[in-house]
Amino acid sequence: MSIKYKIIGSFLICVLLTIAIMGCYEIFALNQAADDTVNQQYDQRIKIEVEICIGLIDQIYDRQIKGELTEKEAKKLAADTVRDLQLDGDIYFWIDTIEGQNIVLSENSEEGSNRYDAQDSEGKYYVRDFINNGLKEEGGYTDYTFPRPGQTEPILKRAYTLVYEPYHWVIGTGNYIDDINEVVAQEKARAQEQLRKNLSTVLIVIITALIFSTLAGIILARRIANPIIQIAKRINALAEGNLDIEKIRLKSKDEIGQLAEGFNRMSENLKNIVHQIKHSSNQCSSASEQLSSGAEELAATASSVSDSVSDVVGGTVRQIESVSNVNTIVEEINHSYEDILNEVQGIKELSDKTSQSAQQESEHIDITISLMNAVEESTRHAQELINHLGQSSKEIGLIVETISGIAEQTNLLALNAAIEAARAGEYGQGFAVVADEVRKLAEQSQEAAKKISNLIKLIQENTEQAVTAMNEDSVRVKEGTDAVNYSGNTFKEIIRMINDVAEKINVAVINLSKNFDNNLKIVKAVNEVDTVSQHISAQTQTIGASAQEQTAASQEIASSAQLLMKNALEMQELMQQFKLETNQEKVPT
């Protein structure tokens, strides 16, 4: 079976499976819709009936609010109204308080009793569920088992309850599931009857869908199969060695288009490879001819190389003898450098010790300079103090002169007072005694001032001598300090020169060490040259033997070149089987 018919068959199978699945689902959906619709209608019906009942009770409660009835009368009237209310068939209403106390029930034997703990045949507390669901905002539904009126066998029932807040009553009614199932069965029967009536229409739609699906499958199969057929024809032509085929031109960019594009690239690459192989076989044939002639020339060259190697062996022997002589001379120079290096090392150690001693003496001179500077500072400070003492002595002398003048004036005043007291006679005697005492004090003050003046003059003379001596000492201290500073600077310069000499000696030691190391390297290099020369001599002998072997190998290369030429001719004959020219017969598309 071709790929076209396989695609059409697969497409039809998918369509048939889809139609079958959709049909089954539609039948199931119709049955389920009948169930859901009937159940929703019955739920809505009992909810509306309860709301109607509450509406009747609400009217009675309005009369109570208006004062037409008492609360007890209103509740009794409401209970009687609900008890007598009958709608369709077995539909009746009941009332329980939120505490479970029954108010209204179809069988009056249970009215007035508390049903809060009542259970159905399956042990379910259905009255509690009535109350809990009725307290919800929009009421609620409860499934339980309960016998029909006048019967004792419990059957499934679905109730709706809603609380009436003013009286705290939970009012409810319900439908028996048997009644609902009977209506559901009737609805399903009607739906199936309608489906049978519409079966012809459904069959027409299915047949029409199959026809259109078949046409679509044929068109799709052609679009898929035709490019694949073209690719298969070109692959067969390629297998027969025909590389001159047209490219497959498809506008689609799907996987088949990519397959065609890949085949085009493959055929083009294969064509290029065959061209390259043909070209390489031609080059191989030419190269084998050149290789054969080159092998003959190589044999002649190898013979010439063998002669040259013999000459090289003789030169290498002479080189070995010269290298041995150089090695002896370099070792003697190396011993001389070693002796010089040892002497310079001794000079370096002596220089380091001299530098250390000079450094210590420099430190002592720095201490002496510091002490001389301190002496100079002390001398300068003492000179300042003595100068200040001389100035103070002069000021004290002036004060003493002032005191002496005051004493003279006081003595004169005392004499005048004594004269005036004598003139006063008896009345001035007391004043005369005082004046005489003042005169004596003035004379004592004047005598003391003279002694102080003489003492101050003596101090001023000694102070001037001390100042003169201090000035002379200050000059000598200054000269001593300058001399010590000059000695310190000179010694520091000597230390610097010693350090320079030590540094130059260190540089000389380093250079000599480097030269010594270089000499060791030279000795090592000369030894290596000697070793290499001996190795070269051995290798040249090996090369001579290899040249002879190369001559024999050249003859083998010539034989191999002949064989290579034969293989290249055979490859050219195989390449002739591929059709590469554009004027050859085209493969039909």
Section 559-586 average pLDDT: 66
Section 126-140 average pLDDT: 95
Q: Residue 347: its pLDDT value, please?
A: 67
Q: Residue 240: its pLDDT value, please?
A: 74
Query: Which pair of structure tokens corresponds to residue 85?
Result: 């209310």
Section 458-487 average pLDDT: 78
Q: Residue 21: its pLDDT value, please?
A: 78
Q: Do 98 and 131 touch, CB atoms closer than 8 A?
A: yes
Q: Residue 286: its pLDDT value, please?
A: 77
Section 178-207 average pLDDT: 78
What CATH fold (topology level) applies to the domain 3-210? Beta-Lactamase (3.30.450)
Q: Residue 116: its pLDDT value, please?
A: 95
Q: Residue 578: its pLDDT value, please?
A: 67
Task: Tell me which H or E stretch contains 141.
Answer: strand 140-147
CA distance 71 to 137: 25
- Per CATH, the number for 290-573 is 1.10.287
Q: Residue 579: its pLDDT value, please?
A: 67
Q: Hey, which bits of 314-356 come out as E strands?
A: none
Q: Do 159 and 180 touch, CB atoms closer than 8 A?
A: no
Please determine, for residue 221, whether its predicted confidence score (pLDDT) is greater than 70: yes
Please determine, for residue 329, whether its predicted confidence score (pLDDT) is greater than 90: no
Gyration radius of the chain over CA positions: 73
Q: Do 550 and 298 touch, CB atoms closer than 8 A?
A: yes
Q: Residue 587: its pLDDT value, please?
A: 39
- The share of the chain scoring above pLDDT 90, in percent, equals 18
Please determine, for residue 113, whether its predicted confidence score (pLDDT) is greater than 80: yes
The pLDDT tens digits for 495-550 are 787 688 677 767 877 876 776 677 677 667 767 767 866 776 677 677 667 766 76
Please determine, for residue 88, whether its predicted confidence score (pLDDT) is greater than 70: no
CA distance 119 to 104: 18
Question: What is residue 176's DSSP assignment?
Answer: E
Is 116 or 556 the better-scoring residue by pLDDT?
Answer: 116
Please determine, for residue 552, whether its predicted confidence score (pLDDT) is greater than 80: no
- The share of the chain scoring above pLDDT 70, in percent, equals 79
- Taking alpha carbons only, the member of 223, 309, 176, 242 closest to residue 7 is 223
CA distance 250 to 264: 11
Query: Which pair of structure tokens corresponds to residue 283?
Result: 């080059």
The pLDDT tens digits for 341-375 are 687 677 678 777 877 877 787 787 788 778 778 86
Please determine, for residue 16, whether its predicted confidence score (pLDDT) is greater than 70: yes
What's the gap between Cα 582 and its chain centre? Answer: 62
Please determine, for residue 32, whether its predicted confidence score (pLDDT) is greater than 60: no
Report the first-to-last Cα separation within the chain, whole angstroms.
21
Determine which of 75-79, 90-94, 168-172 has the lowest per-residue pLDDT on average.
90-94
Q: Do 86 and 92 touch, CB atoms closer than 8 A?
A: yes
CA distance 278 to 568: 9
Section 229-234 average pLDDT: 78
Please determine, for residue 302, whether its predicted confidence score (pLDDT) is greater than 70: no
Section 226-231 average pLDDT: 78
What is the residue-averaged pLDDT of the chain? 78
The pLDDT tens digits for 412-436 are 887 888 888 788 877 777 778 887 8
- Burial class of residue 65 in the structure, from the number of CB atoms within 10 Å of its CB (0-12 exposed, 13-18 middle, 19+ buried): exposed
Q: Residue 437: its pLDDT value, please?
A: 82
* Residue spans per domain, the chain: 3-210, 290-573
Q: Do 84 and 90 touch, CB atoms closer than 8 A?
A: no
The pLDDT tens digits for 258-283 are 777 787 888 778 778 877 877 777 77
Please determine, for residue 439, whether its predicted confidence score (pLDDT) is greater than 90: no
User: What's the residue count for the chain?
Assistant: 589
CA distance 410 to 542: 144
| pTM (global) more than 0.85 | no
DSSP-assigned beta bridge partners for residue 142: 159
Q: Residue 583: its pLDDT value, please?
A: 43
Please determine, for residue 39, whether its predicted confidence score (pLDDT) is greater than 60: yes
Q: Residue 344: its pLDDT value, please?
A: 66
Determine which of 147-156, 177-186, 493-502 has the lowest per-residue pLDDT on average.
493-502
Per-residue pLDDT band for 382 (boundaries 50, 70, 90) equals confident
Q: Residue 336: its pLDDT value, please?
A: 66
Q: Residue 588: its pLDDT value, please?
A: 40
Per-residue pLDDT band for 395 (boundaries 50, 70, 90) equals confident
Query: Which pair of structure tokens corresponds to residue 562?
Result: 């002949």
